[in-house]
Structure 1
Amino acid sequence: MSEAVAKAAARLWGLPEHRVQLAARRENSVYHVDHDAGYALRLHREGYRSDAQLVSELRWMAALEAQGMQVPRPIPSRSGLLVERVEGVQVDVLTWLPGQMLGKQGALDGVRDRGALVHQLGGLLAQLHDISDAWVPDAGFTRPRWDAAGLVGDQPLWDRFWLHPDLTASETALFLAARDQARLDLAALQAPDFGLIHADAITENLMLHEGRLSLIDFDDGGFGYRDFDVATFLFRQIAAPDYVELRTALLDGYSPRRHIDAQSLDLFLMLRSLTYPGWIIARLHEPGGAERSARAIAQALPLARAYLEGST
C-alpha cells in the first residue's frame, strides 16, 4: 500500500516512479527517488501533523537552506504545492542530502573525532537558532510548542508520561514529583532563550558528508527552549564514557555564537528523558515497543531522581 502511494505521489512531482525505493520507516515512511541528485519522498504518519503544520515546517526549512544551512530543501509539486494528499496520505518531497547517518539509537559508536564532530554540532545548532530568530514566518505559521505546557502541562505534547501503564506506584510518584518540580523551575527561569528548535537532533538525524554535519528530519521541530534542543543530543550520550568531554565540546561549539545556561541543562536533560516514556505509550503495540518502553523508563528514572535530590 505505502509503495503504491509513494509511486503515485512521485508522478505528482514529475519523478520516475520506477526509481522510488523505501529508505526508512520510522514515524514517517521515507522513500529515496534516484533521479537527478536524489530526492526524499515522505509519507507522513496519519494524524500526526496537520497540513498547515507540515507546510510551516517546509517553509522554515526553505528559509534555513536559503541562509546557507545544509538542510533538505522542499520541492513543490507540479501543481506548486508543498504538501499533496494521495489516498488520504500527506506527502512531500525534499532534496536528498549526501552522506552517512552519524549513528544509530543515539550512539556515537565507532565515530572518529567524536569531540570535533560534537563541537561542530554545537555550532550547527547555534546557527539554526540564529537564522530562525532572524526569520519572520508568515501569519499562518504553526508548529508544536515545547514550552512548559508542552513538556509538563496537563496534556504534554508526547502524552502524560506519569500515566505510563508499566510504571509502579513508586515510579509514578517519582515522575509526578519531577513534573511538579520542573513546573516550578521552568517558571523561575529568567528570560530563557525560546524560539524555533529542531527538537530531535539525535545521531539518526545527523548526516556526515566529507567531514561536514547536516540536520535532517524537522518533523518534531517547533517553538521551544534552546537548552532543550542542546539537551536532546546530550541525553543520548549520558552513558558514554566520554560524556563529560562531549558535553564540553557541544557547549564550546555553541557558546561562541549564542549564550547557553549550562546550569539549566540538567533540568532540560531530565525533561527530555521524561518525554520518551510518554511518547512510547501510543506505540507499545508496535514491534519492539515493549523493549523501547522499558529502556525509556529505565533511562528517565535515575535522571528524575537525581534532579529531585539536587533540588532539595
Structure 2
Amino acid sequence: MNDPRVADALALWGLEGCLVTLVAARENQVFRVEALSGPLALRLHRPGYRSRAELASELAWMAALEGRGVKVPRPVPANDGSLCVAVAGTFVDVLTYLEGTPLIKDGQVAQDADSSETAFRLGGTLARLHDISDEWNAPAGFVRPAWDVEGLLGDNPLWGRFWENPALTRHQAELLTGARRAAQRALSRLGPDLDYGLIHADAVPENVLVGDGAVYLVDFDDGGFGFRLFDLATTVNRLQRHAPDGAASRRFLDGYLKARPIDLRPLPLFRLLRSLTYVGWVIARIDEPGAAARCTRFIDEAISQAKTYLEYAKD
C-alpha cells in the first residue's frame, strides 16, 4: 500500500506487515486488514467532514450498540487505547470487519439473500437500535449531527440547500420550495409528538450486509439525532426503488413494528424529506463521475415525492 498514512496507522495499531486491500473509496477510504486475530477495517475519514469529537462519539455509540447485541462493527483501540487517531491530518480508526454481502450492490440484490426476510430483519434491527440508543447514557461531550427541523429544512440543511440545485428547472425549484414550506409547517405542528433520538440515518441496502442468516449494519458516518420516521423513510425509499411493488418495504415496516411501536401516519412527510436531502447532497459532488445521472435521478424522485406529499397533505 503506497499511502504513507496507511502504513503509519497500521503501526499505531500494531498491525505492521499485514496485508491491506482497499475495499471502498466513497466518502471515506476503507481498507481490509488481514490481522492475525481476524480481518479488520481501517478507515481514513474524509478530511473536514467530521470533527474528532464527532468521530469519538460515533465510535462510542457503535461500541454500545455492539455490546448490546446489535450487529455492527466494533471499534478496536490503538496500542495507546485511542479509538480515533490523527495521521498526517486525517482521522483514522479501526473496526472489526464484518463478513457479509451488501443487500444491494451496483443495483443488484445479493443472490443468496431472501430480500423479504432480510427486509423484515432489518426493520427489527433498526427498532432495536432505537431502543438501545434511548436506554444508553451517552458520555460527556457526545456530539453528532442533528437531523432536526433545521438540519432538514432550515436555511443551511445538513446536506445542502436542495432548492438551489443548479440542475433544477424553474418549475421544479418552485415545486420543491413549496414542498419545503409545507413540510416546515407540518413538522412544526407534529414535532413535539414525534419519536426523536439517535438514528442511523443511512440504512440503505448498500449499508446492510447479509450472511449466515444475519443482518449487519455498517457506515454510521451520518448517524446522529433525528426523527425515527426519517430513519424508516431512508430505507423505505431505497427499497421502493428496487422493489416498486412495495412488498419489501412493507416487510421492513412489519419487522420494525413487531419490535417497536411507532405511528406511521406521518411517513409520507419523511419520505419527502429524505428525497430532498439527496438533491442537496449531490450539489457539492456534481463534478464527480456519474454525478449527473445521480442528480437527475435524485431530482426525479424528489419531484415525485413532493407531488405525492402535497396531494396527501390536502386530505
Q: Which bracket does the TM-score occupy, shorter chain normalised?
A: over 0.9
Which sections of structure 2, spanning at least 5 residues, go unmatched?
Answer: none
Moved more, 46-55 or 238-247: 238-247
Q: TM-score, with normalisation over the residues of structure 1?
A: 0.96
Q: TM-score, with normalisation over the residues of structure 2?
A: 0.95
User: What does residue 9 of structure 1 align with?
Assistant: 9
Q: For residues 68-83 of structure 1, what are the structure 2 equivalents within 5 Å?
A: 68-83=69-84
Q: Determine which of 155, 170, 191 is the counterpart of 2:193.
A: 191
1:219 and 1:304, CA in 2 relative to 1: closer, same or farther beyond 3 A?
A: same
Deviations 1:89-129 (A, max 9, x none): 11000010111111125663756422111111110000000
State the secondary structure of the residue aligned to 2:297: helix
Q: For residues 1-312 of structure 1, what are the structure 2 equivalents within 5 Å?
A: 3-35=3-35, 36-104=37-105, 108=109, 110=111, 112-189=113-190, 191-241=193-243, 243-312=245-314
State the Cα distance separating 1:289 from its structure 2 match: 1.6
**In structure 2, what is the Cα distance between the partners aligned to 1:281 and 1:172?**
14
**In structure 2, what is the Cα distance between the partners aligned to 1:127 and 1:107?**
27
State the secondary structure of the residue aligned to 1:239: helix
State the secondary structure of the residue aligned to 2:150: helix
1:250 and 1:191, CA in 2 relative to 1: closer, same or farther beyond 3 A?
A: same
Which sections of structure 1, spanning at least 5 residues, go unmatched?
Answer: none
1:243 and 1:16, CA in 2 relative to 1: closer, same or farther beyond 3 A?
A: farther
**In structure 1, what is the Cα distance between the partners aligned to 2:57 and 2:224?**
10
Q: Give the conservation status (yes or no) of the 8 Å contact 2:75–2:94.
A: yes
**In structure 1, what is the Cα distance between the partners aligned to 2:150 and 2:245?**
30
The amino acid across from 2:88 in the alignment is E
Aligned residues: 312
The amino acid across from 1:299 in the alignment is E
**In structure 1, what is the Cα distance between the partners aligned to 2:94 and 2:14?**
11
**In structure 2, what is the Cα distance between the partners aligned to 1:53 and 1:31?**
21
Q: Give the conservation status (yes or no) of the 8 Å contact 1:237–1:243.
A: no
The amino acid across from 1:251 in the alignment is L
**In structure 1, what is the Cα distance between the partners aligned to 2:264 and 2:82?**
42
State the Cα distance separating 1:244 from its structure 2 match: 2.4
**In structure 1, what is the Cα distance between the partners aligned to 2:304 and 2:109?**
22
State the secondary structure of the residue aligned to 1:223: strand
The amino acid across from 1:140 in the alignment is G
The amino acid across from 1:249 in the alignment is R
The amino acid across from 2:185 in the alignment is L
Q: Give the conservation status (yes or no) of the 8 Å contact 1:51–1:90.
A: yes
Deviations 1:219-261 (A, max 9, x none): 0000000011111111112234454222221121111221222
Q: Give the conservation status (yes or no) of the 8 Å contact 1:22–1:32.
A: yes
Moved more, 158-167 or 77-86: 77-86
**In structure 2, what is the Cα distance between the partners aligned to 1:242 and 1:144?**
31
Moved more, 193-202 or 285-294: 285-294
**In structure 2, what is the Cα distance between the partners aligned to 1:65 and 1:110?**
27
1:130 and 1:2, CA in 2 relative to 1: closer, same or farther beyond 3 A?
A: farther
1:73 and 1:263, CA in 2 relative to 1: closer, same or farther beyond 3 A?
A: same
**In structure 2, what is the Cα distance between the partners aligned to 1:243 and 1:55?**
40
**In structure 2, what is the Cα distance between the partners aligned to 1:72 and 1:103?**
19
State the secondary structure of the residue aligned to 1:201: coil
Moved more, 14-23 or 99-108: 99-108
The amino acid across from 2:28 in the alignment is N
State the secondary structure of the residue aligned to 1:282: helix
1:17 and 1:294, CA in 2 relative to 1: closer, same or farther beyond 3 A?
A: farther
